[in-house]
Structures are given as C-alpha cells and as structure tokens.
Amino acid sequence: MIEGIPGVPVELPHVLGSDGAGVVDRLGPGVEGPPIGSNVLLNPGIWDGTCAACVQGNEALCRQYRILGEHTQGSLTDFVVLPARNVHPIPDGLTFAEAAAIPLVFQTAWRALLTIGALQPGETVAVIGAGGGVATAAIQIARWRGARVVVVSRSADKRARAEKLGAEGSVPIPEDGAFDKALWAWSDRKGVDLIFDSAGQRTIPRSLRSLARGGRIVVIGATTGPMAEIDLRTLFWRSASIRGSTMAGRSDFEAVLAAFQGGKLRPVIDRSYPFENAAGAWERFTSGDVFGKVVVERNGPG
C-alpha cells in the first residue's frame, strides 16, 4: 500500500490496517449487531450483499468486494466504521491482540487451502515462505485438516519455528532458487499435492515442477512479481492446475471463528507495539525477520 498498487486508487492521506479487534462504541440508526460494549473482531472483507455472487454465498467473488485498509481507510486508528455483518464476537479465551491477529490471514489461508485448493486428509502441502502471518495460518489449517506439511524458506530460524508450529519438514531455498529438487526428494519423488504460494514470479515455475499428478498450486499473492513463465507441458502432462484465491466469503470466515472457538487453531504474534510506536511496528514488519503478525495496541501492550 505504501508503494502503491497499479489499478487501485488510494485516498491520501491513507490509514493502514486491515485487521482489528475492539469494543462496540455505537450502532447506526436501525442497525442490529453486537450490543454496545461487546468485545469484537473485524472481518476486513467488505461485499455489497446484493449481487448474484453474494446471494449464492460466494461473497469473495462480489464485483464490489473491497478490503479494509486497502480499498478503504484502515483500522490503525481510534474508531472504525463497518457494516454490522463484518463485526463478530471474539472467540472465548482470546485477548484483543490475539483476536486482531486472526481475521485476514486465517480466512485467506482457509479459503485457499480448503475451498479453492480442495485439500483432503492425507495429502501433502508445501507452504512457500515460512514467516508471514498467512503462512503460519496455512501450516496450522493444513495440519488440522490431516495433511503432511513442508515449508520452503531461506531462513533456517523460520524453518525451525515452522516445524515447532506443526510442519513435518522444511526445505531451504538455495542460491539458485531451485527448491523443487528438494521438494521432489521430500515427497519420495511423487510430487506435492497442494502448494500454497504467495511469492509469485520467482517461485511459481519451481512450484509447478514440484507438483504431483493432479496437484494444485493456489496463488494468494505475488510479492516477488506478477509475471511468471511456466512450462505448459508440465501442467497438462501432470493434469495439474494453478488456482487463484483472495480473502474469503462469509461461510469461510465463520468456519474460521468456529475453529478458534473449538481451540483447533491459534494466532501467532511476532510482537506487539503501543499505538504511540506504530512506526516501530512498521519497521519490524518490513525487516524481514517477522514470524507471524505484528500487532499495534491502542492502550497497550498490556
């Protein structure tokens, strides 16, 4: 957002932040929602609720879909105004900081793996990148689904932390970027069933070569660039597919909250910063050392 996204106009000055948790301050006229004073978290995905996709329960396909903090002013502020359907009670036992670390990354990973990726128990999953919030969510969701999980990362520290989080194994990225050879060996030369890739340009060709027959790559981002060149012969010979996924619909988000309510998942917080040191949080976020989510607390931490 700081650098600008082609095709996405940004109102300046711009408030960052997509996630959030807090207390309901007031309700608009005629609005029914959690009572004033309720502890809630925010769903940052905003849809119109009236189009054909929304009526069919595919809110993530709404042509008017927007993301809090990207297409609108964000959550890193005192007050946030959202439709009542975007405000949910915090699952039992979670702090505000933990609740704020859930929404964007867990719904993104949930839809990508289970709804779009159609992950089945017993399959293998490779998560490209080990430290981001979405990666830490994907590892947990895939393990909870009964998959064998391997992470791919340049950082030995992040690979070790990912294994503690539930990954069965890890693969380093060598200087030439050829992690596909190690993934092929890890999978006993069968290939990986599902690859969760947010890097894009630099990794997609290697991910494709790492796929099993009938395997799927689910792309949720393009942090290394938007244009990737692939060998179509590998794609069709292995009956493989490359699928895109962004955010999630209402049912996916509610399923995530139910999993947290049942204690099946947990947020991963790298560090928390007081609101007065939001700049420090930004510096940490962009350092490359982050594992999980960076949280800014309006009246904290603590």
Whether residue 236 is found in the same domain as residue 123? yes
* CATH number, residue 184: 3.40.50.720
Whether residue 88 is found in the same domain as residue 151? no
Mean pLDDT of the 66-93 span: 95
Q: Tell whether the model's pLDDT for residue 15 goes beyond 80.
A: yes
Q: Rounded to an integer, what distance in angstroms lies between the CA atom of residue 109 and that of residue 233?
A: 28
* CATH number, residue 99: 3.90.180.10
Please tell me the predicted confidence (pLDDT) of residue 11. 83
Backbone angles phi, psi at 141, to 5 degrees: -65, -45
Sign, CA dihedral 58-218-192-234, equals positive
Cβ–Cβ < 8 Å for 91, 229: no
Q: Rounded to an integer, what distance in angstroms lies between the CA atom of residue 194 and that of residue 249?
A: 21
Percent of the chain with pLDDT over 70: 99
Residue 278 lies in a domain: no
Total domains in the chain come to 2
Under the banding of pLDDT at 50, 70 and 90, the label for residue 300 is: low
Lookup: tokens for 302: 């603590």
Whether residue 132 is found in the same domain as residue 205? yes
Whether residue 25 is found in the same domain as residue 66? yes
Under the banding of pLDDT at 50, 70 and 90, the label for residue 302 is: very low
Please tell me the predicted confidence (pLDDT) of residue 288. 85
Residue 38 lies in a domain: yes
Please tell me the predicted confidence (pLDDT) of residue 68. 96
Lookup: tokens for 74: 């964000």
Q: What is the pTM of this model?
A: 0.94
Q: Tell whether the model's pLDDT for residue 56 goes beyond 50.
A: yes
Please tell me the predicted confidence (pLDDT) of residue 175. 87
Under the banding of pLDDT at 50, 70 and 90, the label for residue 165 is: very high
What domain range is 36 assigned to? 21-103+249-267
Q: Rounded to an integer, what distance in angstroms lies between the CA atom of residue 182 and that of residue 211?
A: 12
Please state, rounded to an integer, the average pLDDT across all residues of the chain.
94
Please tell me the predicted confidence (pLDDT) of residue 117. 97
Residue 284 lies in a domain: no
Mean pLDDT of the 71-89 span: 95
Please tell me the predicted confidence (pLDDT) of residue 278. 92
Residue 296 lies in a domain: no
Q: Could you report the per-residue pLDDT of 236-294, keeping only the tens digit for each?
A: 999 999 999 999 999 999 999 999 999 999 999 999 999 999 999 999 998 889 999 99
